[in-house]
Each structure stands twice: as C-alpha cells, then as structure tokens.
Copies of this chain bind each other. A is one copy, B any other.
Amino acid sequence: MIVNMHEGFSFCIEKKVPGALGRAGVLSTPHGKIETPAFVTVGTKGTVKALTPEQVKNTGAQVVLGNTYHMYLKPGEKLVEEMGGLGHMMHWDGPTMTDSGGFQVFSLGFAFGTSVSKVAKSSETTFEGAPLEHEREREGKLAQIDEDGVTFRSYKDGSEHRFTPEKSMEIQHALGADMTFAFDECTSPTAGYEYQQEAMERTHRWAERSVKRFTELQNTRGEKSPQALFGVVQGGRFEDLRKESAETLAGMDFDGFGIGGSFVKEDMDTAVGWVSKQLPENKPRHLLGIGEPIDMIVGAEQGADLFDCVAPTRIARTGMVYTEDGRINLWNAKYVSDLQPIEEGCGCYTCQHYPRAYLAHLFRSKEMLAATLASIHNVYFLVNLMKRVRSAILEGRFADFKEQFVERYKG
C-alpha cells in the first residue's frame, strides 16, 4: 500500500497493529527515507541544541524539524535561503520539516516567560506546552487574531510582525524544508467549546488558503527541491470537533497531517484515535509537540507516525536523562561516584564511553560537554524507543512491548 504524495514523496504502510490504528511505514522524501513510527529531532533555530548534525545522525535520528517562527525572526528566512535552506545551512543532509509558526505565535507569551521546569511540566500535561486560558489572557496583547491572520510582537525585542497563511507558506518555502505545515491556530486545552469551534473553523479556512499559496509556490519553484504540505487538525478535547476537523482537512489536498493544538495527557489515546479514524489511512500523521515516552507509545498505537518535542535536549541541559525506569537527575549526589553508565546496555555514544560520575563532574563544573553528552543520550533514547516500537509492530508484538515498557517506566 504505497501512496505517492507530491513529486519526490511517498508513504508506504508496511504493517499494522492488529485491532488498533497503529502502523509501521516508510515515508520517502527528496532527502531520504524516514522509517515510522519515528521521533523527529527538534532544531528550533536551525541547530539541534548542543549537538553537531553528525552527533544527531549518530543517535539514529532520521529527520530534523526547525521552527518557522524562530528562524523568521532570526536569522530571517531570506538569509536561511541564501545559506541553502534549513538542511544545507545546518549541514544536515537528511529529511527536514518546518512547523507553521502558529504554535509559537499563539503561545510565546507563555512559553518564553517561564522557567524550564514550568515548561517541562506543561509539556507533560498539555500538547506542546500550550498556555492555560488565564495565562493567555494575561499575555493577550502579544498576539491579536483576525480572520486574515495574526499580528504579534517578537518575544525578543517587542517588534510587531504579522503572519497570515500565505506568509507562513512563503516563509516555509524560503526555509526550504522537505515537509511543511499549513498555518493553524493553536488553542488552549481549557478553552470552551464555542471558542474551540470558532478557532477550528478559522484554521480550516486558513488551511485552504495555505494549500492555495503552497501550490502556487511549488508551481514556480524552479530549481528548488519539491516540498510536501501537511494540514493541522485542531478541535481541542471535543470529540465531535476533532472528527469534524480531521474530516474537513482530509478533503483538502494535503500530503499528510499534523495533529495539533492541545488536549490533556489523559485524553491522548482517545483524541488521537478519533482523529486517526477520520484521516485517510495512507497518509502520514504527525503528533505535534509530543515526545514523552509513554505518550509516544500511546500515540503510535492510535495511528500517529511522527512525533517531535524539545524535551530531550531541554531536560538534558538541566542534568535530567531518560532510563528504562524513568528519568534520573545527574545532579543527584549519589551519581558523583557512580561508575556505571546512565543505562547499562544503552548503545548511545555517551553510555558507551562515560560513567555517571564523569557526567556528574561535568555538570557540577558547568562544562558544556555535560549538555552535549546528556542530549546525545536523551535524543538516542527517544529515537531508539520509536525504532523499538517499529520493530515490535513489524514483528507482531506491539502489545507486549507496550505493556512491558509502561510497567517499568515511571513517567
């Protein structure tokens, strides 16, 4: 079952989870294949924090996502284009994606005004760490939405900017990633039904305009590499809205779909399932901003193919690393003289070469290498977790794998 998307892209489903929506597939892009389910490594500003692209590749990572909002503000999409586009600029020769910019435009008042721990906490309870309603109101003046688009202020210098669906497409065209996303409005998980519906319907109108502008740009792209466009399903925590959103977008000319917005962790399996059932089976689905181990396993079971999250590198910089038993904090006093690797048997560069005691020393000495080595381990852990999920699906033992992992892992 192979579906050809835009020129240079195709998606092939290899095997499905019996009695569930999950599947293993291969997404082909002009810059290589992505075996799914897969964790997408985030390189917000055109670099995966603290890592060279070779270090990223050595974790087994297959694809990097850059943030449209950040690169638009700095260094600017035109300069990225002059440097050969996102992939060439950062010396990453594999597949790339850019998001729509929507999430940052709507959430920046929250996302950038809080400490790492608060953001990390929020990413555990809401999709993409989206703001709660009252926090949106408090910061309300940072972004003003109208039918045509959004006017917002830069989180860096307060300067005023405006994104429309057309502008998002133009920026993403200049950034030149393989896969791009339609411009969407990301709502709060606690927003009421009425607002969710209003925002969702606007997102659908923006989706149509995104497809139109994307198609124009592709038709006149000249020597540039072809791009694919994913639509973003919204609708909050409401089953009827999520279904309506998925159905509506399924009827448009998209190559794949993002599942976006925000709904609380407890709704993850139901909500992703509602959406997956409505979307065409043979197109890839990206669960936006989700990267917690168990969330990804649940999401994969419910039919999501791609996942991304800043958490692995962000928490790594604070000394927090994943293990099969859950996260551990390398600042803990007991690791100062611990000669074991972060995880016995882990295949990552860090665990192959360094004991916890050395990492504890690097963190306490404020050495940059601490962040690099912890980031390598965390990215490897999530990338490899999705490879294990994929193998389990291909070998028909997904349910066992999930049960064993969830039982041991303390999120």
Contact surface of A with B, Cβ cutoff 8 Å: 45-47, 49-52, 55, 74-75, 79, 82-83, 89-91, 336-337, 339, 353-355, 357-358, 360-362, 364-365, 367-369, 371-373
Contacts and interface: CB of A to CB of B under 8 A. Distances in A.
A365 B66 CA distance: 14
A83 B369 contact: no
B365 A368 contact: no
The SS class assigned to the A binding surface is loop
A357 B79 contact: yes
Contacts of A79: 336-337, 357, 361
B83 A357 contact: yes
Query: Quick one: copies of this chain in the complex?
Result: 2
A61 B232 CA distance: 49
B361 A74 contact: yes
A357 B52 contact: no
B51 A369 contact: yes
Contact of A372 (B74, B89, B368): B368
Contacts of A45: 361-362, 365, 367
18 contacts: A45-B361, A46-B358, A49-B368, A49-B369, A52-B55, A52-B373, A74-B364, A75-B336, A75-B364, A79-B357, A82-B337, A82-B357, A83-B339, A83-B355, A83-B357, A89-B358, A90-B358, A368-B371
Contacts of A90: 358
Contacts of A89: 358
A367 B47 contact: yes
B75 A361 contact: yes
Contact of A91 (B75, B91, B339, B354): B354
Contacts of A353: 91
Q: Which of A50, A55, A369 has the most CB of B within 10 A?
A: A369
Most-contacted residue by chain B among A74, A75, A339, A354 (CB, 10 A) = A75
A91 B50 CA distance: 19
A176 B357 CA distance: 18
A89 to B, nearest CB: 6
Contact of A75 (B83, B357, B369, B371): B357
A369 B336 contact: no
Contacts of A362: 45, 47
Closest 8 CB pairs of A and B: A75-B361, A91-B353, A50-B368, A45-B365, A47-B369, A47-B367, A368-B368, A89-B358
B369 A50 contact: yes
A194 B45 CA distance: 58
A399 to B, nearest CB: 39
A84 to B, nearest CB: 9
Contacts of A47: 362, 367, 369
Contact of A361 (B46, B91, B354): B46
